[in-house]
Amino acid sequence: MRIAVFGDVVGRSGRNALTQRLPGLKRKYALDFIVVNAENAAGGFGVTPRICEELLEAGADVLTTGNHAYDQRDDIAIFDAEPRLLRPANFPAANPGRGSGMFQDAAGRNVLVVHALGQRGMFPVDDPCAAVDRELEGVKLGREADAIIVDFHAEATSEKYSMGHYLDGRVSLIVGTHTHVPTADDQILSHGAGFIADLGMTGDYDSVIGMEKSEPLHRFVSKMPGGRFSPAAGEATVCGVVVETDPASGLAGAISPLRVGGRLRPAAPAF
């Protein structure tokens, strides 16, 4: 199975780049299942029903979020209404939405997607390891699930690596999201799980992690807010990874970055 996961979509530029390119990427690389992190898709903060529909219609099978999941306060009901939209599993249990879901690709293969939030440098949440264990309970890779994907939305690289090694051998792929800069450490861990510390954002890299430069620079220099953050509007780079899983075990057989458009150097899977 070929699975692609795309990093944090930031604003209109990121949405347009992904929705325009995703159908062609799906055909070109014969992608069976696609996950998109959409937590910055609505003006840089959260997601709306219309944006969910737009990304799903373009070819995404599942949308994940992160610490900005509920920023669009008038649209929080979408987390209960749309099962393909996930919030972190280690949010309080009573919160709208769910932290994982079992989905099927076009061939009827079962794909479990699990989403969790890191603790380092984030607002307080429950233990992400315990939360992921809970979502994996009763689901064995290669038996109940043909593939298992974990989006770990975290600030600290050390915490992302710890989660990767904690889950190695039990899941197909662990991807880090949140820091908006693609890392060069895509690899298959020692027990067969694919891993990357951060997918990078799908957004305009002539920016400060997706935001138009003037306000972040003003705050760094003056230590004072000058206005609202707004997403940069230039051409976006679509950033993600593609993993190919073993049909028997569900573990990763190959992993490669995928970067298209914008300012960053292109990257594409050779398998």
Question: For residue 145, what are the CA distances in angstroms to 14, 112, 136, 231, 232?
Answer: 31, 6, 10, 37, 39
Within 10 angstroms of residue 145's Cβ, the number of other Cβ atoms is: 21
Contact call for residues 262 and 242 (beta carbons, < 8 A): no
Which residue is it, tokens 């908006």?
Answer: 180
What are the structure tokens assigned to 268, written together? 């594409």
Contact call for residues 255 and 173 (beta carbons, < 8 A): yes
What are the structure tokens assigned to 266, written together? 């292109």
Query: Tell me, what amino acid is at 230?
Result: S
- Measured CA to CA, the distance from residue 257 to residue 18 in angstroms comes to 15
Contact call for residues 194 and 172 (beta carbons, < 8 A): yes
Within 10 angstroms of residue 249's Cβ, the number of other Cβ atoms is: 14
Catalytic residues: 68
Sheet with 110-117, edge to edge strand ranges? 100-104, 110-117, 147-153, 173-177, 194-196, 187-188
φ, ψ of residue 107 to 5 degrees: the values are -90, 5
